[in-house]
């Protein structure tokens, strides 16, 4: 779950991470008042959307006066900001963050994320932060330093010091960087984050480290431990179909194909989508049925697929485990078809716990289906049906 910049900075404030003083505004009048309250000197007026590259897209303005701040906010609020990360439709700007400008002598890039390959926390930093860091890194104009932090526990002080020196830091700047890495590491673990990114991290003349921008992504699967953080989700920024699926223990995303995909397990779902593409087909959706989903939850998810007029065939690829046997998913299928009144050709491959009971339930629902022995056979069969071949 990604949260807005102003929310991320509020969370980091709990860990004494320095951020520029600022105020959230939802109107031009509010932005003007915020500029006056921040006192003399230029301020930043920043669109609050869940996307990067805001500066390049005109989503960040420098205001030298309250009147200019008001005009900047008026130009942003109610506008759809289009960046390289939003898609053509852009994101609607409903609020702006008005904050004091910080005099920086050097901007760094700093992030902590989960390394998918090892499961360890990975510290990443760059000598030159700010806009365009992705392009500079991709072109080879800039390299990033990395350090594995393990899976938690205490940081190794000598390793952190050496890491900061690789960024060319000395004296007070080095100490400030060491301190903020420690704070971010603690925040990452306590918040159950999957990413904390500071870009840029400003170093002032006094050597203080200040987070000029902040991005935090929280692990959805750990939100049951953080009900206060779950309330930070901006439901207006989420596709309503995906949001309804999340409420039914499903990870779901609409795609542009014609093969409806019902799978339990994210890895298995991604492999299924890859195989559909390899076979010349186009998936209509991504679906990962969580182990906590019940038959009614599964019925809701399959109903989302049946609601898609582009879907021509349903492909079920199921591995029945101890927490979610095969018959639970077949029961969800039967309920969904009865609710929606729409029947599509069904191709299925399932194995594991209660697979024989699942076949019996399928027969009781009177749902004709083509059962396949393995994934590739099921995928090629579904692709053929979608293309009108037997």
Provide the CATH number for the domain around residue 51: 3.30.1490.20
- Cα(95)–Cα(77) distance, integer angstroms: 6
Residue 44 sits in the same domain as residue 82: yes
Q: Residue-wise over 64-97: b if at least 16 C-beta within 10 A, else e? A: eebebbbbbbbbbbeeebbbeebeeebbebbbbb
Q: Which of 197, 235, 237, 355 is catalytic?
A: 197
Asked if the bond preceding 110 is cis, omega within 30° of 0, the reply is: no
Say whether pLDDT at 320 is over 90: no
Residues 219 and 277 in one domain: no
Domain end residue (candidates: 101, 136, 171): 101
pLDDT digit string (tens) for 253-267? 999 999 999 999 889
Task: Give the per-residue pLDDT at 74.
Answer: 97
Please state, in angstroms and as integers, the Cα–Cα distance from residue 164 to each residue in 106, 248, 285, 286, following that order.
14, 45, 44, 41
Domain total of the chain: 3
Of the residues 185, 219, 238, which one is the last residue of a structural domain? 238
The DSSP result for 2-13, as a single string, is B--HHHHHHHHH
Considering the candidates 32, 91, 99, 109, report the single residue annotated as catalytic: 109
Same domain, 45 and 130: no
Nearest of 305, 315, 239 to residue 277 by alpha carbon: 315
- What secondary structure letter does DSSP report for 176? H
Higher pLDDT, 55 or 273: 273
Mean pLDDT confidence for 367-381:
94
Q: Could you tell me if 139 and 30 lie in one domain?
A: no
**Are 292 and 255 contacting, i.e. CB atoms less than 8 angstroms apart?**
no
pLDDT tens digits for range 171-196: 999 999 999 999 999 999 999 999 99
Closest C-alpha among 330, 317, 322 to residue 359: 330
> Judging by DSSP bridges, how do beta strands 43-47 and 60-63 pair with one another?
antiparallel
Same structural domain, 274 and 351 = yes
pLDDT band of residue 236 (cuts 50, 70, 90) is: low
Asked if 224 and 265 sit in the same domain, the reply is: no
* 149 in the same domain as 6: yes
- In angstroms, rounded to a whole number, what is the distance separating the alpha carbons of residues 330 and 46? 49
Q: For the chain, what percent of residues have pLDDT higher than 70?
A: 98
CB 384 within 8 A of CB 390: yes
Q: Which of 145, 144, 149, 146 is nearest to 119 (CA)?
A: 149
Residues 84 and 140 in one domain: no
How confident is the model at residue 104, as a pLDDT? 94
pLDDT of residue 56: 87
Domain match, 233 and 330 both: no
Which stretch, 135-144, 246-255, 352-361, has highest mean pLDDT?
Answer: 352-361
Do 311 and 231 share a structural domain? no
Tell the burial category of 245 from Cβ atoms under 10 Å away from its Cβ (0-12, 13-18, 19+): buried
Q: In the predicted model, what is the mean pLDDT of residues 238-249?
A: 78
pLDDT tens track for 267-292: 999 999 999 999 999 999 999 999 88
Q: Note the pLDDT of residue 326.
A: 93
pLDDT band at 238 (very low <50, low <70, confident <90, very high): low
CATH code for the domain in which residue 378 is found: 3.40.50.261
Q: What is the CATH number of the domain that holds 7?
A: 3.30.470.20
Domain boundary among 238, 272, 303: 238
Burial of 247 (0-12, 13-18, 19+ CB in 10 A): exposed
pTM over 0.85: no
109 is catalytic: yes
Contact 45, 60 (CB under 8 A): yes
- What does the alpha-carbon distance between residue 165 and residue 181 come to, in Å, rounded to a whole number? 13
Same domain as 108, residue 134: yes
Mark whether 335 and 355 lie in a shared domain: yes
CA distances from 39 to 33, 69, 93, 197 (A): 10, 12, 25, 29
pLDDT-based confidence at 241, cuts 50/70/90? confident
Where in the sequence is the domain holding 166, given as residue range(s)?
A: 1-19+103-238
Query: Mean per-residue pLDDT for 206-213?
Result: 94
């Amino acid at each position: 779950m990604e949260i807005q910049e102003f929310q991320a900075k509020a969370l980091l404030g709990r860990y004494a991470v320095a951020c520029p003083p600022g105020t959230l505004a939802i109107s031009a009048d509010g932005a003007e008042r915020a500029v006056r309250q921040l006192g003399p000197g230029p301020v930043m007026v920043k669109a609050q959307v869940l996307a990067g590259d805001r500066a390049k897209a005109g989503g960040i303005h420098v205001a030298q006066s309250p009147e200019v701040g008001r005009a900047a906010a008026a130009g942003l609020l109610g506008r759809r900001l289009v960046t390289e990360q939003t898609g053509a439709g852009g994101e609607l700007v409903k609020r702006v963050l008005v904050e004091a400008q910080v005099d920086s002598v050097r901007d760094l890039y700093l992030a902590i994320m989960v390394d998918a390959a090892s499961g360890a926390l990975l510290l990443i930093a760059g000598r030159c932060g700010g806009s365009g860091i992705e392009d500079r890194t991709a072109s080879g104009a800039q390299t990033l330093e990395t350090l594995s932090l393990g899976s938690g526990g205490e940081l190794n002080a000598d390793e952190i010091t050496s890491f900061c020196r690789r960024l060319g830091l000395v004296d007070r700047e080095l100490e400030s960087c060491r301190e903020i890495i420690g704070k971010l590491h603690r925040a990452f673990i306590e918040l159950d984050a999957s990413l904390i990114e500071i870009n840029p991290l400003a170093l002032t003349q006094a050597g203080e480290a200040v987070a000029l921008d902040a991005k935090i992504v929280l692990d959805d699967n750990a939100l049951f431990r953080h009900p206060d953080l779950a309330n930070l989700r901006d439901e207006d920024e989420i596709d309503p179909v995906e949001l309804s699926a999340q409420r039914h223990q499903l990870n779901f995303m609409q795609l542009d194909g014609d093969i409806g995909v019902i799978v339990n397990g994210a890895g298995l779902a991604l492999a299924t989508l890859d195989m559909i593409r390899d076979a010349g087909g186009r998936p209509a959706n991504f679906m990962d049925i969580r182990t906590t989903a019940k038959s009614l939850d599964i019925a809701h998810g399959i109903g989302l697929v049946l609601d898609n007029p582009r879907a021509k065939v349903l492909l079920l690829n199921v591995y029945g485990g101890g927490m979610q046997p095969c018959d639970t998913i077949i029961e969800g299928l039967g309920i969904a078809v009865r609710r929606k009144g729409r029947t599509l050709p069904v191709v299925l491959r399932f194995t594991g716990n209660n697979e024989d009971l699942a076949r019996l339930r399928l027969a009781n629902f009177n749902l004709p289906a083509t059962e396949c022995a393995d994934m590739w056979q099921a995928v090629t069969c579904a692709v053929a049906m979608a293309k009108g071949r037997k």
